[in-house]
Amino acid sequence: MPRIVRYYRFGDPEELVLEEAAPAAPGLGEVRLGVLAIGINNSEAQLRRGTYPLLDPEFPTRIGKEAHGIIEALGPGVDGFAVGERVSTIPMFDMARYGVYGEWAIVPAESLVRMPVGLGAVKSAAVWQAYLTAYGPFVAYSDPAPGSWALITAASSSVGFAALQTAKARGMKAIGTTRRRDKAAGLAAAGFDRVVVTGEEPLAATVMEATGGAGAAIVFDPISGPIVAELAEAAAPGATIFEYGALAAEPTPYPLVTCLKKGLGIRGFTLWEIVRDPGRLADGKRFVVERLESGVFDPVVDRVFGLDEIAAAHRYLEAARHSGKIVVKVRDE
């Protein structure tokens, strides 16, 4: 019998239980996928721990929102897709209700996207969370001048690499930050024009030196906390600092004086802004797929686990040793 992942209480990765479950029938507007690969995201670890602010699951519950698979069944009212098609999910649904960890999953048809032929299941499961998160600040909400600079913190994440590729596609240069010296060479090889190892180098001064005093026109940051004051010092006049996460445990001070001097904007952003707006979502899908097809975008995958290793995949995620996406391969293509 097929297996799915559920958990029965908040806690450590070992709370993720792999158990047999007969495939369910899709309901109105839904499809059932035979899952080939799953993309692992920080928000799923937060949900498992009970620290994710947007969902309050009822136990037992499934988990996961990013997968690539083959359509096995169509629910009533589903048009435009056929059984046997390969598709990926955009993470635009309640993952406690529509969790994708497992050998099958029920998902809303509106979340499905056909992927470029030849991309493969593993990379096809590593696209939408990262590239649509980067799409908002670098495309939907910005019009960067060619040759201007982007500052991307926590650059070794899958979103960091997607932001790098998106910034380059927009004609920008990019500076990436990491806390780990052992990740710096990999970030430089991926295309960052300068890598700053925070804790070893002064962030603002290094950015200003690298940019010839211009500063960063777009700052893309999931950390928040005290680093925001340094990001403001590193920003160009009129720049926007996009805060898309809250990894720091400390409060986030508002750098009022620097913002006044430079005319800076500090803006919160989440993927929901794109996926809940049909027009922006359609534009974002088109933008990403076109660049996947042309090879401009190439998802960076750090490590692939098996479904039996789902707890190990979460432990690896939380250890923050990865550079790029962590993917669970469920079955061969």
Residue 141 buriedness (CB in 10 A; 0-12 / 13-18 / 19+): middle
The answer to whether 165 and 304 have CB atoms below 8 angstroms apart is: no
For the chain, which domains are there? Answer: 3-127+299-329 (3.90.180.10), 129-273 (3.40.50.720)
The answer to whether 69 and 34 have CB atoms below 8 angstroms apart is: yes
The answer to whether 211 and 189 have CB atoms below 8 angstroms apart is: no
The answer to whether 130 and 166 have CB atoms below 8 angstroms apart is: no
Q: Which of helix, strand or coil describes residue 125?
A: coil
Query: Where do runs of H (alpha helix) occur along the chain?
Result: 42-49, 121-124, 128-135, 158-169, 184-190, 203-210, 227-234, 256-262, 272-275, 278-294, 310-319
Instruction: Please state, as a whole number, how many other Cβ atoms lie within 10 Å of the Cβ of residue 76.
Output: 9
- Bridge-based pairing state of the strands 30-40 and 104-108: antiparallel
What is the residue-level pLDDT of the chain in tens, covering all 333 positions? 999 999 999 999 999 999 999 999 999 999 999 999 999 999 999 999 998 877 788 899 999 999 999 999 999 999 999 999 999 999 999 988 899 999 999 999 999 999 998 999 999 999 999 999 999 999 999 999 999 999 999 999 999 999 999 999 999 999 999 999 999 999 999 999 999 999 899 999 999 999 999 999 999 999 999 999 999 999 999 999 999 988 888 999 999 999 999 999 999 999 999 999 999 999 999 999 999 999 999 999 999 999 999 999 999 999 988 999 999 999 988
